[in-house]
A and B are shown apart, each in its own frame.
Chain A
Amino acid sequence: MFFRLLMESFRRQRRRKMLAGIAILLGTTAVTAMLALATTIGDRIHKELAVYGANIVVYPKADLLDVKVGGVDVKPASGGAYLKQSDLQKLRGIFWANNILGVSPELRVNQQAFPAGVGAPSVPATVVGLWFDHDFGGMKTGAAELHPSWKLEGSWPSLAGDASSWQVAVGEAFAKRLNLHVGSTFELPKDSQLANGGLVEAQVTGIVSTGDDLDSAILVPLTVAQAMANKPDAISRVEISARTKPEDAFARKDPDSLSPNDHEIWYCRPYANSIAYQIREAIPGAQAEQVRRVEQSEGNVLKRISGLMWLISAAALLAAGFAVSAAMATAILERRGEIGLMRSLGASKGAIAFLFYAETGLLAVFAGTIGYLLGSGLAAWLGARIFAGDGGAAEAVLIPVLLPVVVALALVVAIAGSTPSIRAALRMEPSAILREDG
């Protein structure tokens, strides 16, 4: 009998059910979309912020001081310390290895470049060995990935070709100085001792504009620079881009002064400081530091934007809650006549309330689920449209955790919205209701 009442109510009163259903549907759609956007906004903005470059740098602990002004090495350090390229593999073993999004090692060699043509005077130049599209344990990474603001004409150099010719990319200013174009060649010494070994032809595959000191440098694959410097496996600096948690007061604590328990917590949070600490542990002789200009400001921007999204989601929740409960109240209010009739036919208050709550619940679950699906689709569509061209389309469209949350919210709001109306209708004399409605 109860189920027949329930089914008939849905079958016969389509218009009334539709009103409440649409309200719940729209409300859950908006809330799901906002929550889905708010939960993914951190990653998306982080990807955008990658344009600012690495947020952690690693350099040899025993290194001499950089004597650089405006990006130019005034007094190049000779015989400095180096890190080992082979040690970079250890980065994959640290606790927050999955948060490392990009790795770019470099080795700088001061060299003479010989323009093509006999008798032309040599030009001092910095040769910078870098990774280009390097396969780092399944992750394609390298200098270009860590510097999305670099503009390249042509292509990055690769190791293809034989020992008599190297592929190089040159900075904009250097290219202008030597009048180089994509495809032209000049000569570089084979290694750091000019005396032994001859010159090797360098073929320009790309001209890069970086906006910093690399504009006047020669960019080569890392192994070429190592061969040139006679230092196989050596790197002088590593830039790392990691996904971090914005720094708070706890993050700034000195980990070695914390109690073992707090140390564990500190260690297991993806602060830039903790990741740097883990890198120092993993790579012998390395000093890792957060790049404060990038890390501090990024954290700030990230916090503000995701905070804004969460607050807007809260506002959406509130507004949708209001709208749904108002719609439910109206829908029940309209059916006072029914309540009066049922009561005069002898139904108990409890049975009537149960029937109405069951209807409301069914509607909330049904409309809430559809709203969840629509909202997820909407969020994915909006996200893809707004953050188009990030290459990060591989994220989940459906966030399963949201389904129970959204449906539960719809249930609570719908039941809360209909309660005052049901109670008011049950309190009234059945005869009064029936007479009023004629």
Chain B
Amino acid sequence: MAMLSFAGMLRRSLVHRRARSVSALVAMTVSAGVATALLTLYADLDAKLHKEFRSFGANIVITAHANASLPSDVLARVQQAAGADALAAEFAYAVATTDTGTSVVVGGTDFAAVRRLDSWWQVDTWPDPALADAALLGQRAANFVGNEHAVALAYAGHSVTLRGVGRIKTGGDEDSRIYVPLAAFTAWTGVGPSVIELQVPGGAKRVEATMAQLQKELPDVQVQPVRQLVEGESRIVDRTHALMYGAVLLIALTVAVSVLATLSASVLERRRDFALMKALGGSQAQLMGMFLLEALVLALAGVAVGFVVGSAAAWAISEGNFHTATLPHLSVLPLVLLLNVAIAAIAALLPLRVLRGLQPAALLKGE
């Protein structure tokens, strides 16, 4: 009987004061939604930022010791040690002479790998992978080549004519080089790859671990980090992370306090209900339970709606900014739930201290 009337009272209280219930529900939804959106973004932030830093290219350089080539199976071993998500490209270099008699560095490499690794290379047309004798000319090197479409090069008495398909522009050393496919390069010069540029995603710790692993497996090569990249990435990710943390706390606090104020004001406004129930014989504990239950029902409903809305907001923000989706994280749900329930419980209980001291009769009389 007692339970039945409790549920009935709850239902009637929510339905009858519909405007107030809706405004409380909106407040709880906003707080849950904001918390969900920020926490979801926060959980994904590091991975997203590290992904952006991949555009800086290789962060580890593996080189053969002076005048030696790398062992033939090294690329596969490097790739295996670094993990499937690492990008690696091998390079072979030789100094050749162009048809105008200028010395130029010619690099042999796998264009497909370089294109993925060094996204900053500005190339008008990447050569067709099927084209075995394609050449890309650095924009400075191109000035020292007589015929850009049939690039005649000589190395140690062997000459070769390659089909120039485009120019590279990077603002770095690449501008004064000519790049050709590795197979064609090795067939022409007999020189094997001497450098592997490797990009390991995920920040300084992973880079260091990979370097240690590589050094252990390949003791006869040099493994070096590209120091400014590794350091810079960690610093910026850490700082953005801290900034985001501050923002999340600040916003969550603002919303929580505002929602708390709104809710407790609306509870306080129900002095007359409180007085009436007390006059009809309700005990303090029963009344507290009643108010609490009502607040908790609203809080849970707020979490249910807010989680969906917040996850959608996080998805939209990360799609808009990082161009990759952030899927809803169920792991943030407990924290959001805890936050909302805590706000609701405090909002319900805080005014009770004020109400306890009131005399029902005086209140009902309107004093």
Chain A positions within 8 Å of B266 at CB level: 330
A348 at the interface (CB under 8 A from B): no
Q: How far is the CB of B211 from chain A (nearest CB, A)?
A: 13
Chain A positions within 8 Å of B48 at CB level: 304
A22 partner, pick from B30, B120, B235, B257, beta carbons under 8 A: B257
- Contact indicator A315/B38 (Cβ below 8 Å): yes
- Contact indicator A315/B262 (Cβ below 8 Å): no
- Contact indicator A65/B141 (Cβ below 8 Å): yes
A68 at the interface (CB under 8 A from B): yes
| Cβ-closest chain A residue relative to B138 | A65
- Contact indicator A289/B171 (Cβ below 8 Å): yes
A166 and B247 CA atoms in complex are apart in Å by 52
- Contact indicator A331/B265 (Cβ below 8 Å): yes
B258 at the interface (CB under 8 A from A): yes
Given contact pairs A27-B254, A65-B140, A69-B105, A211 touches B236 in the complex (Cβ within 8 A): no
A260 at the interface (CB under 8 A from B): no
- Contact indicator B240/A315 (Cβ below 8 Å): no
- Contact indicator A34/B251 (Cβ below 8 Å): yes
B232 partner, pick from A49, A57, A211, A311, beta carbons under 8 A: A49
Q: Which of B251-269 contact A (CB under 8 A)?
A: 251, 253-255, 257-259, 261-262, 265-266, 269
Q: How far is the CB of B24 from chain A (nearest CB, A)?
A: 9
- Contact indicator B265/A19 (Cβ below 8 Å): yes
Among B8-16, B126-134, B287-295, B314-322, the one that faces the other chain is B314-322
- Contact indicator B105/A382 (Cβ below 8 Å): no
Q: Which of B119-177 contact A (CB under 8 A)?
A: 119-122, 140-141, 144, 169-173, 175-176
Given contact pairs A26-B257, A51-B231, A322-B26, A386 touches B239 in the complex (Cβ within 8 A): yes
B321 partner, pick from A30, A211, A304, A326, beta carbons under 8 A: A304
B49 at the interface (CB under 8 A from A): yes
- Contact indicator B23/A30 (Cβ below 8 Å): no
A305 and B231 CA atoms in complex are apart in Å by 18
- Contact indicator B104/A315 (Cβ below 8 Å): no
- Contact indicator A293/B176 (Cβ below 8 Å): no
A10 at the interface (CB under 8 A from B): no
Q: Which of B227-242 contact A (CB under 8 A)?
A: 227-229, 231-232, 235-236, 239-240, 242
Q: Which of A191-229 contact B (CB under 8 A)?
A: 211
A268 at the interface (CB under 8 A from B): no
- Contact indicator A330/B254 (Cβ below 8 Å): no
Given contact pairs A23-B262, A311-B321, A387 touches B56 in the complex (Cβ within 8 A): no
Among A89-97, A114-122, A157-165, A294-302, the one that faces the other chain is A294-302
A interface, CB within 8 angstroms of B: 19, 22-23, 26-27, 29-30, 33-34, 37, 41, 44-45, 48-49, 51-53, 56-57, 64-70, 74-75, 147-149, 211, 289-293, 295-297, 300-301, 304-305, 307-309, 311-312, 315-316, 319-320, 322-324, 326-327, 329-331, 333-334, 378, 382, 385-387, 437-438
A301 and B26 CA atoms in complex are apart in Å by 36
- Contact indicator B236/A49 (Cβ below 8 Å): yes
Q: Which of B41-77 contact A (CB under 8 A)?
A: 41, 48-49, 52-53, 55-57, 63
Given contact pairs A301-B52, A309-B243, A291 touches B172 in the complex (Cβ within 8 A): yes
A315 and B227 CA atoms in complex are apart in Å by 36
Chain A positions within 8 Å of B41 at CB level: 308, 312
- Contact indicator A334/B265 (Cβ below 8 Å): yes
- Contact indicator A48/B246 (Cβ below 8 Å): no
Chain B positions within 8 Å of A27 at CB level: 254, 258
Chain B positions within 8 Å of A67 at CB level: 95, 103-105, 176
A27 and B34 CA atoms in complex are apart in Å by 14
- Contact indicator B55/A300 (Cβ below 8 Å): yes
Q: How far is the CB of B116 from chain A (nearest CB, A)?
A: 14
Chain A positions within 8 Å of B246 at CB level: 382, 386
| Cβ-closest chain B residue relative to A311 | B317
Chain A positions within 8 Å of B321 at CB level: 304, 307-308, 311
| Cβ-closest chain A residue relative to B235 | A48
B184 at the interface (CB under 8 A from A): no
Q: How far is the CB of A21 from chain B (nearest CB, A)?
A: 10
- Contact indicator A322/B30 (Cβ below 8 Å): yes
Chain A positions within 8 Å of B176 at CB level: 65-68
- Contact indicator B272/A292 (Cβ below 8 Å): no
- Contact indicator B120/A297 (Cβ below 8 Å): yes
B342 at the interface (CB under 8 A from A): no
B171 partner, pick from A70, A290, A307, beta carbons under 8 A: A290
A51 partner, pick from B55, B235, B313, beta carbons under 8 A: B235
- Contact indicator A68/B261 (Cβ below 8 Å): no
Chain A positions within 8 Å of B170 at CB level: 291-293
- Contact indicator A323/B229 (Cβ below 8 Å): no
A311 and B322 CA atoms in complex are apart in Å by 12
| Cβ-closest chain B residue relative to A306 | B321
Chain B positions within 8 Å of A70 at CB level: 63, 93, 195
Q: How far is the CB of A412 from chain B (nearest CB, A)?
A: 17
- Contact indicator A386/B242 (Cβ below 8 Å): yes
| 15 additional A-B residue pairs with CB within 8 Å, beyond A27-B254, A52-B232, A316-B250 | A29-B250, A48-B235, A64-B102, A147-B228, A149-B232, A293-B118, A297-B57, A301-B49, A301-B55, A315-B37, A322-B26, A323-B30, A326-B30, A334-B265, A385-B242
A19 and B350 CA atoms in complex are apart in Å by 14
B207 at the interface (CB under 8 A from A): no
The 8 A CB mask of B86-98 against A (1 = contact, 0 = none) is 0000000101000
A429 and B312 CA atoms in complex are apart in Å by 43
- Contact indicator A29/B254 (Cβ below 8 Å): yes
B244 at the interface (CB under 8 A from A): yes
- Contact indicator A329/B23 (Cβ below 8 Å): yes
Given contact pairs A65-B144, A323-B254, A387-B239, A52 touches B56 in the complex (Cβ within 8 A): yes
Given contact pairs A65-B140, A311-B321, A319 touches B251 in the complex (Cβ within 8 A): yes
B224 at the interface (CB under 8 A from A): yes
Q: How far is the CB of A41 from chain B (nearest CB, A)?
A: 7
